[in-house]
Homo-oligomer: A and B are copies of this chain.
Amino acid sequence: MIKAGIIGATGYAGAELVRLLTHHREVELIWYGSRSYCNEKFGEIYRNLFEIVEDVCMDDNLEELAEKADVIFTATPQGYLASVLHDEILSKTKIIDLSADYRIKDVAVYEKWYGISHKSPQYIEEAVYGLCEINREDVKMTRLVANPGCYTTCSILSAYPLVKEGIIDPSTLIIDAKSGTSGAGRGAKTQNLYCEVNENIKAYGVTNHRHTPEIEEQLGLAAGREIVINFTPHLVPMNRGILVTAYASAVKRADGSLPSEKEIRAVYDAYYGKETFVRVLPEGIYPETRWVEGSNYVDLNVKIDERTGRIIMMGALDNLVKGAAGQAVQNMNLMFGFSETEGLQMAPLFP
C-alpha cells in the first residue's frame, strides 16, 4: 500500500484520478490538492463521490506532499510543475505529471508552442514519456513521468506501428481528431456552456494546437527522422471520448504495389496483440467512442484505400481515462511494480 497525492484534484482529470484511485487496492489517497476548493469536502464538489470520499481539499503544497506521499500526480496548468520542481522533491517521491511540462524533449519547441519559458529544463531528459505500450520499460525505472496528452495518446497509438515499420510515409500524415467536451476542462467559459456546445461541431486550433509537436516528436522518434504533420482537433457535443481519423500514403513495395490490408493488420496484431488495453478491432469494424467510455481501453482499426494508396488509421479512447487519469494510474502501476491493470479493470460503460 503506497500513499498518493494529487495536485489539481478538482479539475475533470484530477477528479477522474480520484475516482480511479478510490478503487485501487494498492493505493491510499492522502492529498486532494485544490486551490479553488481548499478546505471543502471533495465529495461535496464531485458528488459522484459523496459518502465515498470523506476527505477535505488541501492547498497545493508540493513540498509538504513530497514528505508524505510515495507518488504525486500533478493535474495542473502548463508551467506549474516546471516552476516548482527541484531535486529534493524528486529525491523523496515519484511524480506523474499530467501537464505538458516534460513531454517535449526539445525545450525550444515547448517554449514556442506553449508561449512560456521552461523553468526547469534540467529535468526534461530524465522524464519518461509515459505512453505505457511504447515506453513500458523506461517507465518502470523512472521517478518522473510525463503523462501524454489525450489527443496524442490516441494519435500515436493509432499510427505508431505503421510509422515504425516504414509502411506509411510520415510526411503525408494528416490527423483529424474529434473530442468530447470534458477535454476543455471545468473552467467557466462562455464557449463551453451547454447551449454553445450542444448541437454543434467545430474545428479549433487549426494548424496550431499544442498537441501537434508532441505527436511529431514521438512519431519522429519512431520514424527515425523529424516529421511535420497536420493535426486538427474538433469539439463534439458529448462528455467523453476522442476519435482519431488519420490519413497517410502507403509506402509502395519495390514492385510498385501497395501493402495488403492483411499485412497491415498483421503489424497491428504484432504490436498490440498482447496489450490488455489496446483492442485491434475486426476488419470492417471501426472504433467508436461509446465502446470505450469510462475505461482505459483504446480501440483501433486500419483500412487501406486501393484507389488512393492511402491508409486510414482510426483510434478511439476515453480522454479522461486512457487519455489522462487512467494512463497515469497505468504508469504508476508500472513504476511501483503493481499489476499493470490494477484499478483499471472496469469494463466500458454502455450505453
Q: Which residues of A contact B (CB under 8 A)?
A: 12, 15, 19, 22-23, 44, 46-52, 174, 176, 178, 180-182, 186, 188-190, 192-204, 206-207, 228-230, 232, 234, 236-241, 243, 245, 247, 279, 281-282, 285-295, 299, 303, 305, 307-308, 310, 312, 314, 316, 345-351
Q: Which of A230, A314, A351 has the most CB of B within 10 A?
A: A351
Which residue in chain B gives the minimum CB-CB distance to A212? B307
Flag if B194 contacts A186 (CB, 8 Å).
no
Q: How far is the CA of A92 from the CA of B46 in the complex (A)?
A: 45
Q: Given A15-B350, A203-B314, answer yes or no on A47-B307 (Cβ-Cβ < 8 Å).
A: no
Which residue in chain B gives the minimum CB-CB distance to A195? B351
Q: Given A230-B305, A308-B230, A310-B174, answer yes or no on A194-B190 (Cβ-Cβ < 8 Å).
A: no
Flag if B291 contacts A294 (CB, 8 Å).
no
User: A50 contacts which chain B residues (CB < 8 A)?
Assistant: 279, 281, 291, 299
Flag if B194 contacts A197 (CB, 8 Å).
yes
Flag if A289 contacts B174 (CB, 8 Å).
no
User: A243 contacts which chain B residues (CB < 8 A)?
Assistant: 201-203, 234
Taking a contact as CB atoms closer than 8 A, the residue among B182, B193, B349 that contacts A186 in the complex is B193
Q: A149: shortest Cβ distance to chain B, in Å? A: 18
Q: How far is the CA of A339 from the CA of B74 in the complex (A)?
A: 36
Could you list 21 A-B pairs, sorted by A, with CB under 8 Å? A46-B350, A47-B281, A48-B348, A51-B279, A52-B347, A181-B194, A192-B194, A193-B194, A194-B198, A196-B290, A199-B290, A200-B289, A201-B236, A201-B243, A201-B289, A202-B286, A203-B243, A206-B314, A228-B307, A230-B305, A234-B245
Q: How far is the CA of A181 from the CA of B236 in the complex (A)?
A: 13
Taking a contact as CB atoms closer than 8 A, the residue among B19, B190, B239 that contacts A199 in the complex is B239
Q: How far is the CA of A52 from the CA of B240 in the complex (A)?
A: 21
20 extra interface residue pairs, beta carbon distance < 8 Å, beyond A15-B350, A178-B201: A12-B195, A19-B350, A44-B285, A174-B310, A178-B236, A181-B194, A182-B195, A193-B193, A199-B241, A199-B290, A200-B241, A200-B289, A203-B245, A203-B286, A203-B312, A207-B303, A207-B307, A228-B307, A237-B237, A346-B346
